[in-house]
Amino acid sequence: MEKSARPLALPTMALQVTIISKYPPGGRCTLYAGYADVLAGHLTGEVAVTYTELADAHANGYPSLLLNGQPVVPADGVILMPADLCAALEGQYVSGEVLLGLAEALEAPLERMMDEAG
């Protein structure tokens, strides 16, 4: 999939994506960074990575992905899936039509992780 030359849509408010990761990043930290890259390529906003030794998934430690300072919590309680991110973005940040393309693009980092896992 080609990276968009310009954002697909402007968020209804500024979007700050923060990844909280261990260093070096492992499986979920790498996956969440991949999600952030997709978000940066499709939406307007900023992406930051914070490294920590604190293991506190989906909160203040790794692995976490925050949208405007709020952690996105996975539906299964373990790993963020594209649907979790789309649910967090829907309405407040992007329109429904943009979510369709974004959901598809967010599958790529997940597929890479699954392929690497064997």
Q: Can you give the three-state secondary structure of 35-86, one letter per residue?
A: HHHHHHHHECCEEEEEECCCECCCCCCECEEEECCEECCCCCCCCCCHHHHH
The pLDDT of residue 83 is 94
User: Which pTM does this prediction carry?
Assistant: 0.85
The Cα 48–Cα 16 span in angstroms is: 8
Q: Give, for all 118 residues of the chain, the pLDDT tens digit.
A: 444 444 444 444 568 999 999 999 999 999 999 999 999 888 888 999 999 999 999 999 999 999 989 999 999 999 999 999 999 998 666 777 778 889 999 999 999 999 988 7
Domain spans, the chain? 16-117
